[in-house]
C-alpha cells in the first residue's frame, strides 16, 4: 500500500469541504497546498487592498475570517496525522518557539499505520 499525495486543487477542495472537521487525518500535501493557496490569495488581496480604497481592506478581512476555521481544522487534522492530539495547536501561542515547533510537526511524515485518529489518508493498494 502506498500513500499518494493530493493535487493542489484536491487539497483546496478538501479543506473547504471538511470546513468544520476537526477529526480524522490530513496528509502533508493537503496541508501545505492549502497554506500555499492562502499565501497566494492573501497576497493578491493585500495588493488589491493596497491599491484600492476601503473595499480592498473589507474583501481581505472577509477572506481572512472565512479561512480561519478550515485552516485550524486542517492544522488539527495534520497534527492527528503525525500522531499528536489537536491540543498541540496551542503551542503556537508561544512566540517564535511555538511557531517553529508547529512547523516541524507539520513537516513530519505521516504515521504509516492507522492511529487513534483514523486510517492513513490517501492510502492506495498497489
Q: Give pLDDT tens digits for 86-113.
A: 999 999 999 999 999 999 999 999 898 8
Identify the band that residue 1 occupies on the pLDDT scale cut at 50, 70 and 90: low
Residue 4 pLDDT greater than 80, yes or no: no
The Cα diameter of the chain in Å comes to 54
- Looking up cell 511524515, which residue turns up? 109
Q: Cα–Cα distance between 2 and 120 in angstroms, integer? A: 10
SS (H, E, C) the chain: CEECCCCHHHHHHHHHHCCCCCCCCCCHHHHHHHHHHHHHHHHHHHHHHHHCCHHHHHHHHHHHHHCHHHHHHHHHHHHHHCCCCHHHHHHHHCCCHHHHHHHHHHHCCCCCCCECCECCCCEECC
Tell me phi and psi for residue 20, to 5 degrees: -110, 20
Q: Give pLDDT tens digits for 10-30.
A: 999 999 999 999 999 999 999
Residue from 72, 94, 58 nearest 20 by CA: 72
Domain boundaries, the chain: 2-124
Residue from 19, 21, 31 nearest 110 by CA: 31
Amino acid at each position: 500500500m502506498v500513500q499518494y499525495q493530493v493535487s493542489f486543487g484536491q487539497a483546496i477542495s478538501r479543506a473547504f469541504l471538511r470546513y468544520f472537521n476537526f477529526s480524522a487525518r490530513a496528509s502533508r500535501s493537503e496541508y501545505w497546498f492549502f497554506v500555499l493557496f492562502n499565501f497566494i490569495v492573501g497576497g493578491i488581496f493585500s495588493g488589491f487592498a493596497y491599491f484600492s480604497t476601503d473595499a480592498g481592506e473589507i474583501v481581505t478581512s472577509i477572506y481572512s475570517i472565512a479561512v480561519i476555521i478550515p485552516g485550524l481544522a486542517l492544522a488539527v487534522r495534520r497534527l492527528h496525522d503525525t500522531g499528536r492530539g489537536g491540543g498541540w495547536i496551542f503551542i503556537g501561542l508561544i512566540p517564535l518557539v511555538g511557531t517553529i515547533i508547529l512547523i516541524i510537526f507539520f513537516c513530519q511524515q505521516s504515521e504509516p499505520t492507522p492511529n487513534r485518529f483514523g486510517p492513513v489518508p490517501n492510502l492506495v493498494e498497489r
